[in-house]
């Protein structure tokens, strides 16, 4: 599979179940049976991928909300979403599929 780019559109996979618990989101990967906990910026990204979203828009929103350099933000978002994809928690939509 090709690397993620800012033009890639992703959405939360159907192979997961997630719940908000105070300041953390708990995600159960249904394919691997593993629970994942995310908070802070990661929880914000997780909320955004509940609907199909282009990664450029995710980076823009995170950069606007948090005090982080754009290059660092871009790298961190792509790395996090890549990890979500490798664990089967998000899938690509459209041309990025």
To the nearest 10 degrees (0 to 180), the angle between helices 70-86 and 55-65 is 130
Contact criterion met (CB below 8 Å) for 9 and 55: yes
DSSP reduced 3-state for 51: coil
Rounded to whole angstroms, how far apart are CA atoms 47 and 12? 9
Residue 95 is predicted with a pLDDT of: 61
pTM to 2 decimals? 0.91
Cα–Cα distance between 14 and 21 in angstroms, integer? 20
pLDDT in tens, 5-52: 999 999 999 999 999 998 899 999 999 999 999 999 999 999 999 999
pLDDT tens track for 40-83: 999 999 999 999 999 999 999 999 999 899 999 999 999 999 99
Gap between the Cα atoms of 84 and 71, Å rounded = 20
């Amino acid at each position: 599979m090709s690397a993620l780019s800012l033009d890639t559109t992703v959405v939360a996979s159907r192979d997961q179940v997630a719940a908000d618990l105070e300041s953390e989101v708990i995600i159960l990967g249904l394919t691997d049976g593993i629970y994942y906990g995310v908070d802070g910026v990661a929880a914000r990204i997780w909320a955004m991928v509940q609907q199909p979203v282009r990664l450029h828009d995710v980076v823009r929103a995170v950069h606007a909300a948090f005090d982080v350099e754009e290059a660092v933000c871009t790298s961190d978002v792509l790395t996090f979403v890549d990890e979500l994809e490798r664990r089967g928690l998000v899938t690509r939509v459209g041309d990025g599929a």
